[in-house]
Structure formats: structure tokens, C-alpha cells
Amino acid sequence: MLDPVLSAAENPPILEMRGISKSFGAVKALSDVSFTVREGEIHALVGENGAGKSTLMKVLSGVYPYGSYEGSILFGGEERHFRDINDSEKLGIIIIHQELALIPLMSIAENIFLANAPSKFGVIDRDTRYVRTKELLAKVGLTEAPETLITNLGVGKQQLVEIAKALSKDVRLLILDEPTASLNETDSAALLELLKEFRRHGITSIMISHKLNEITEVADRITVLRDGRTVGTLDCHEGAVDEDEIVRRMVDRDLESRYPARTPKIGDVIFEVENWSVYHPQHSHRQMVKNVSMKVRAGEVVGISGLMGAGRTEFAMSVFGRAYGRDITGTVKVHGKEVDTSNVHRAIKAGLAYVTEDRKQLGLILAEDIRKNISLAHLGGVSASGVIDDIREMKVAQEFRTRMRIRSHNVYQETGKLSGGNQQKVVIGKWLATGPRVILLDEPTRGVDVGAKSDLHHLIAKLKQQGAAIIMVSSELPEVLGVADRIVVMCEGRSVGELKRGATEEDVMALAFGENHRRAGPLRAERRAAPSVGQFSMEATT
């Protein structure tokens, strides 16, 4: 066990990756990358989408086996040749991917010990599994029973179950790929505190994230990748690390502003929702949206903020063609006239567009090319007599590839092979091709790098100038405050307040937590405490 008072600079390396190069055909994903991680530190790995971060971690974990890349890996002072992920896990290298690898209809205990269940005489020892699961859940701050089904947990708790699963494998090096991308502010803060607690007990972590404020809060050192090469490593113990400096190294240019200057030219009301109510699609007694009313004007961005479960996405999806929920009541008006949005086709016809928060599952056909994805919501515009005109479809796709600055070989490139930021641009381009008057953006920059975020923020500003009415759901408070002209805050399915431009994060959170939590202090009331030193015992993992 390392002395927790040692600084990162005094610790020996636990991992050294030397001269790593990896190619996919003619494309070189990594070029002579060197990467060193010291024992007991939190080391951040940052870069734009496509910079090579995930490829480097797949080389380390054995997903890309020894012999498929050039260079060497030293772990614990010895050179290692990992043939698959089982080889790396045996040494305590555990990776938690952004898309959680949990089985929803199995219990917490079954998920944690899916591949390494304790047994007696070849039969699973359920009593031992139960006890060990309780111990592991206590370490990550969860109080749920081991037999709880994963499907009954929120995303934040599922992320903690993944970490508990890693602890069950005697983790020495924990790799987290975008661990807070799907979490609200409260769950993100709890996870970061947990990583700090692990550091105090000698567990080394590599954290991949696009949220620079979180990285500068917890990281001991930050390594920047750009275009498959190592740009450099910043030591956070040598002084405060400037986020702008990280951005410059990542994108090799200065971003004029994290958020574009706002010179709003707000016009008349375009979009109105009145007394909108929605019930859960399976649990008919649960009301998810409760009598919400909202107006959006031409050239205006209305941000919707709130905690996870506040009803933000349920509101946006249900308004757009009733794509979510049942027993929906309320009216929708465009330019003062009530419109029929009872299905997706009618919502599009009424001038609405909805950019989903889940681009991979609901926004794109990943196996198809850019051309087909962009035309998907606007087939009538690229067809003649019910038959798709290939030339017209190609021209529309090329137009939006250029407008959206999608980085690809051409419009025939498979969408699933694009970076996350470029996939998001394809989704938005698909909806802009329909010529919408009202655009609902649900987590528009989730999981994209700072360069792509800047592009998307400037795109939103341009759409405002063109007179679009925009509703933006976002879990990132700085983004809501930096982009929105007004902010509607939701809590438990209700609209609980509206804030004007110039509001602070504290103003938003005070409304988001609701009246019952304000007396206790909103940030303290809901934050899950990280385990104390007394709760955390590494011996229980063995």
C-alpha cells in the first residue's frame, strides 16, 4: 500500500507505453505514442474525438493484442504481451467503457460476478456472492440490495456498479472512458470524490473525459493526444492548469470563445406548449411531465435545466410526435395556430425537429453512410415519384457535410466509423435538411470534444440569427448559462421557475432541487457522500 501523503511526482511508474503505433489499413491511428502513469495517481488522457485515446486504451487492455501494434508496454516494471482483455485483467488493469456493459434484467450481484462468481464444488455460492456484493457496494457508496435489478437503477448508480465490478477483480489500474458523460452534476461530483478516495488508497486511475473542469479538479497529470501523437503532459502539482492551454494543445488553435458572443434579435413567439402532461409508457400511474407550459420566440434559445429524472427529455420527446409516454394531454402551437404532433411524421410536417440525446441508438443508422443518414428524415425532398434520386440525395448530403464541417473522406463513409463529434453533426444535419422552424436539442454536445462543442455552439448561434426557435436540454450548467437566452428549470416533472440571461449556477440549482431541499443547502442535500476512510478497506476486495 502506498503512503497516501506521497505526491504523484514521488511515485514510481506503474505503466509505461513506449513508441506505440497502430494502423488500420492505410489509416494510422497512433504514431509513436509514449505514455507514463505513476502509481497511485489520477492521470487524465484528453484529446479531440479521433485523437487516438480509445485506441491507446484498447492496446493497453489487450482488445488489440500483442503483435497488432508496434512498441512496448511495461506494467509493474515488466514488459507485458497481452493477447486479450483477460490477460490484462489478471494483472488488475480494468477498463470501464462509456457504454456500460451491464445486463439490465440481471441483479447487481449477478452483474458484478458474471465472469468470476464464487463457487463451491462447481456450483455458484450465492451466500458468498451476496456478502461480497454488499461489501463492494459499500465501498462505492451504494445502499441498494445485491438482488436489485440493474434496470431499476439510474445511470449514476449503474456507473458505480461498474466500478464495484472492477473492485471485485482486484483492480490496480482503473481506466474510465467518459465516466460522467451521462451523469448529472450531483452524480458526477460523487464519482469524482470516489476517484479521489481510491487515490488515497493507492488505486491508480486513467480518466478520459471532455469535461475539462472535472479533469482539472481531480487529475494529478494530464496527457494530451492530437492526431494520434503525444502532444505533451501537464503536471497539475506544478501550478494551476489553464483550461485554455489544454484546449490549445488539443486542437492546435485558439478557440475564439468557449461560447459565441450573444447579440440576440428575438422576434415574435413561434412555438407554444400549453398544459403538457405525460404518463410513463409502462407504469401508467407515474406522471412524468405535469402541466408544463412554454413559449419560444424566433431567434431565441430556451434552455431546459434540472436534475436527472426531472422530466426534461420526457417533455422534449413527447412533444415531438409523442415519441415518449402515454395519456398525453395539452396543446402545441406554431405561429399561434394549433398543430397536430400526434406522430413523428406530423411533427416534422408542423416544422419540428428533435435531436435525440442518444445518437447511436435513436439518432443514426451506424451501418449506413453519411448520405443515407442525412436524407433519412427528408426522403420526400430527395425523391421523385416515390423513388430516391441518388444524385439529389448525394448533393443534399454533400451540402450538409460542408455546412456542418463533418470530417470524413466523403459522404459515402460509414457513419459508425466517424468520431462522436462528427456523428453528432450528422444527426443535426439530418434534421436541418427538413427545414425546421422549431429545433429541440437534447444534450447536443454530450460525449463530444471541445473543438466539436465549439462548432456546435457556433451553429446554434447561426440558427438563432436565421430566426429559428430553439429548445436546448443540457445537463452541463456552464453550457446552459453560456448558450441560452432564457432558462426553464424543471423539478419532478414540473416547470418550477424561469431565469433570465445572467443567472448563476447557484440560481439554477436552487430551483432544480425544489423547495424541500433549499433549507438544507441544495448542493449538500442531494450529493452522495464518498465512502470515508473507515468504510474503505482494500482487504475486502481479495
Q: What are phi and psi of 207, to 5 degrees?
A: -120, 120
Instruction: Give the CA angle between residues 351, 354, 356 to the nearest 5°.
Output: 170
Mean pLDDT by 10 residues, the chain (542 residues): 45 94 87 95 88 91 94 96 93 85 92 88 90 91 91 84 87 89 76 90 90 89 92 87 82 64 86 96 90 96 88 94 94 96 95 92 92 93 90 94 90 89 92 95 85 86 93 89 94 93 87 57 36 38 35
Find all residues with CB under 8 Å of 485, minimum gap 6, and list them. 262, 264, 266, 300, 301, 302, 501
CA within 13 Å, CB half, 194:
30
User: Does residue 270 sit in helix, strand or coil?
Assistant: strand
What is the Cα Rg of the chain in Å?
24
Q: Which of 295, 318, 271, 356 is nearest to 493 (CA)?
A: 318
Residue 258: the pLDDT is: 66
Residue 370: the pLDDT is: 96
Residue the block writes with cell 419540428: 352
Residue 204: the pLDDT is: 95
Residue 243: the pLDDT is: 80
Q: Are 461 and 255 in contact (CB under 8 A)?
A: no
C-alpha distances out from residue 433 to 42, 290, 333, 351, 377, Å: 43, 32, 22, 11, 8
Residue 525: the pLDDT is: 32
| CA separation for the pair 30, 18 (Å, rounded) | 12
Residue 36: the pLDDT is: 96
Give Cα 363 distance to the centre of its chain. Answer: 15
Pairing relation of β-strands 70-75 and 387-388?
unpaired
Residue 91: the pLDDT is: 94
Q: For 130-228, where are the E strands, in sequence order?
A: 173-177, 204-208, 221-226
Residue 325: the pLDDT is: 93
The grid coordinates of residue 314 equal: 420526457
Q: Are 45 and 71 in contact (CB under 8 A)?
A: no
pTM comes to 0.66
Instruction: Give the CA angle between residues 491, 492, 493 to the nearest 5°.
Output: 95
